[in-house]
Amino acid sequence: MVVDFQNVSVVGLESSPVAGALAGLRANEARYFMNKYKHEFTVVPASESQDTLDYVNRVLKEERDIEIGAKPLETSRFQVENIRFAYVFYEDGLAINVMYTVDDPRKRAVGFKLSEGMEVPAELEGKFKFARQKSKLAGTIRGSFFVIKGEY
């Protein structure tokens, strides 16, 4: 499904207690990729993308011993220019992305974004400081990241 950032929809995210904010966060990502790379941001149900879930879970586990307890709802995986991206959108409102530059090991990171209205997940509590950013589509997003040291 192509994510529409003009008309924000909760399709695919209905089971989330913060579905509206999570849909806004997803639309915010879609707008970013369209504006920066002219790339259409698409998502698939998590049930149809086990390889993407396995990849993101492996990076989290091996880099920081993090296991996310929330139910994954959707994923996205693509490459623009020399950067591979993998996204997982979780039922609790968390969005995780792995940004992996193919030819520059210094530009690899995992990003966390928290939808407005959700608490910091227990798995991340105390491990990261979250900066706030305002978004017309998503309200206040709290975000953090860490640099990837390994090869994936």
Residue in the structure block whose two tokens are 């941001």: 41
For the chain, the domain total comes to: 1
18: closest CA among 147, 141, 135? 141
Q: Is residue 122 part of a domain?
A: yes
Q: Is residue 70 part of a domain?
A: yes
Which 8-state DSSP code applies to residue 98? E
Q: Report the alpha-carbon distance of residue 129 to residue 13 in Å, rounded.
A: 26
Q: Which domain holds residue 99?
A: 19-147
How high is the pLDDT of residue 145? 97
How high is the pLDDT of residue 128? 96
Q: Is residue 4 part of a domain?
A: no
Q: Is residue 9 part of a domain?
A: no
How high is the pLDDT of residue 107? 92
Q: Is residue 110 part of a domain?
A: yes
How high is the pLDDT of residue 22? 98
Backbone angles phi, psi at 24, to 5 degrees: -65, -40
Q: What is the pTM of this model?
A: 0.96
Q: Give the bridge partners for 107, in sequence order.
A: none
Residue 72: exposed, middle, or buried by beta-carbon count in 10 A (0-12, 13-18, 19+)?
buried
pLDDT means per 10 residues, the chain with 152 residues, are: 95 97 97 97 98 98 97 98 97 98 94 96 95 92 96 93
Q: Report the alpha-carbon distance of residue 68 to residue 89 in Å, rounded.
A: 11
Say how many residues make up the chain. Answer: 152
21 neighbors 93 (Cβ within 8 angstroms):
yes
